Amino acid sequence: MKKRCIPIFWDPACFNSAWHREIFNGIQRAARISQRTVCLVDEDEEEAIRDVGEPVILIGYSHEYLTSAVDRLTRWDKRIILAGMDADNLSNQISCVTHSRSRQTVELLQYLYACGRERIALVGIGRSSINDLIKVDAALRYTLSLAHPVRRNDIYDWTECLEECISRFLPVCSRYDAVICPNDFAALTLIRHLEKNGIRVPKDLYVAGFSNQAVGRFSTPTITTITMDFSAIGRYAFSIWMQLQTLMEKDLVLKIIAPSRLLARGSTAFQQPEIALASVPFWQKDEKDQFYNDDTIQRLMRIESCLNRQDELDLRITKGILSNISYEELTDRLYISSSALHYRMAKIYRDVGCRTRAEFMALFKQYFGTFTLPEE
């Protein structure tokens, strides 16, 4: 019976959240199609938590609630699926359905550049918000090679209150033609401050946010934003639940990245330009290749490749060579002919780019000190 019922932990703080209700409804609809039911766990009863089936789907956003729920469920050895958020900040043993804040940031940037906006600021960034800092990192990396990249001094952040960064931004806003805010609340607050200072959105400045919050749909102008299909997140959470029924390894976790959708509204003049959906370079070519072009790394990679190709006899030959054992003694110890030994040695030397035994010994001493064979 437990396998026919999907247990749900739902943060009471978001019972009235339209997003989280959509996630729950998505789970419920997917369960109904598979002739299963969902049940909200009575979290006040420890026995109910102990006896509930697993995996358990967890819905919520309060860090305090989620931490407490994860601790309790982990105590009873329950596998957990977090619906709508990335689980990395809670535990690396939790499956999840989330969205890519980096990808969403890049989509907004691509949209604004396609609208002809090139000088972009990020305003309203919370210094203690992991979500906001992910967006900042994506913007800095993605725009690095563009004509007008987003730089550190284009990031307007705050610690105590949102007005901190807005008051710093207003005197210099003429430097920019577009702003990205980390959410629609910050975007709406910024627009009202701009309006009071005679700056018109979208005529003087484009503004865009995240999350498709209701305040952005009813404001003047309406706010361009990135949204998710929360019902789909519920369906994806159910699909993970189904997969984990057959994948019984407790340490196995699954993560699904849900797609996003950009909604062009009044704060960007309802522009809907053609956007070339190319792959997103989060690093530059030189930056990406630097690691692999380093001389030390290249030598170690050759050694790595050589060791991975060696069978047990090759490894014993390598160990013998590095132990300074004579060729004659090696052939006796390993019960092979002199020609077989020299054939294998030549291949080993060639794989690591050495010509002589002396070069080979010097190379391995440089990186290993003492070379040891792993115990099986």
Give tens-digit pLDDT for 272-281.
Answer: 998 765 555 5
What is the fold of 294-368? Arc Repressor Mutant, subunit A (1.10.10)
pLDDT of 287 > 60? The answer is no
Helix (H, G, I), strand (E, B) or coil at 61: coil
Q: Give the separation between CA 236 and CA 254, rounded to whole angstroms.
A: 11
Q: The tokens 């946010």 sit on which residue? A: 209
Q: Where are the domain boundaries for CATH 3.40.50.2300 in the chain?
A: 2-99+230-258, 101-227+262-284
Side-chain half-sphere of 112: how many Cα atoms within 13 Å? 33
Q: Where are the domain boundaries for CATH 1.10.10.10 in the chain?
A: 294-368
8 Å CB contact between 170 and 194: yes
Q: CA 332, 334, 338 angle in degrees (round to 5)?
A: 65
Residue 301 CA: distances (Å) to CA of 97, 175, 253, 315, 318: 36, 47, 30, 17, 17
Residue 197 CA: distances (Å) to CA of 186, 192, 194, 206, 234: 17, 9, 5, 15, 43
pLDDT classification of 376: cutoffs 50, 70, 90: very low
Q: Quick one: pLDDT at residue 320?
A: 93
The mean pLDDT value for 199-219 works out to 94
Q: Quick one: pLDDT at residue 129?
A: 83
Q: Quick one: pLDDT at residue 250?
A: 79
Q: Give the separation between CA 290 and CA 265, rounded to whole angstroms.
A: 42
Contacts of 37 (CB under 8 A, 6+ apart): 4, 5, 6, 31
pLDDT classification of 222: cutoffs 50, 70, 90: very high
Query: For all residues of the chain together, what is the average pLDDT?
Result: 89
Higher pLDDT, 371 or 225: 225
Contacts of 234 (CB under 8 A, 6+ apart): 22, 23, 24, 25, 26, 27, 28, 29, 30, 83
pLDDT digits (tens, 9 = 90+) for 43-54: 777 777 888 888
Q: Give the separation between CA 42 and CA 192, rounded to whole angstroms.
A: 43
* Phi, psi of 141, deg, nearest 5: -75, -45
Q: At what angle do helices 295-309 and 357-368 cross, to 10 degrees?
A: 110
Q: Quick one: pLDDT at residue 289?
A: 57
pLDDT of 368 > 50? The answer is yes
8 Å CB contact between 94 and 81: yes
Q: Quick one: pLDDT at residue 61?
A: 79
Residue 69 CA: distances (Å) to CA of 28, 37, 43, 57, 364: 21, 22, 9, 11, 50
pLDDT of 108 > 60? The answer is yes
8 Å CB contact between 212 and 225: yes
Q: Quick one: pLDDT at residue 1?
A: 46
Q: Among 78-92, 137-151, 159-173, 286-300, where is mean pLDDT lowest? A: 286-300
Residue 148 CA: distances (Å) to CA of 37, 120, 166, 275, 350: 53, 8, 22, 18, 48
Burial group, residue 368, by CB count within 10 angstroms (0-12, 13-18, 19+): exposed
pLDDT of 366 > 80? The answer is yes
pLDDT of 288 > 60? The answer is no
pLDDT of 247 > 70? The answer is yes
Domain 2-99+230-258 has CATH 3.40.50.2300: yes
pLDDT of 318 > 60? The answer is yes
Token duo for residue 225: 């934003």
The mean pLDDT value for 239-268 works out to 90
Token duo for residue 90: 């809670």
* Phi, psi of 59, deg, nearest 5: -115, 125
Q: Quick one: pLDDT at residue 295?
A: 85
* Phi, psi of 118, deg, nearest 5: -120, -30
What is the fold of 101-227+262-284? Rossmann fold (3.40.50)
pLDDT digits (tens, 9 = 90+) for 3-39: 688 999 998 888 888 888 999 999 999 999 999 999 8
The mean pLDDT value for 70-88 works out to 88
Q: Quick one: pLDDT at residue 280?
A: 54
The mean pLDDT value for 200-219 works out to 94
Q: What is the pTM of this model?
A: 0.68
pLDDT classification of 98: cutoffs 50, 70, 90: confident
The mean pLDDT value for 179-184 works out to 95
Residue 336 CA: distances (Å) to CA of 147, 323, 332: 65, 18, 7
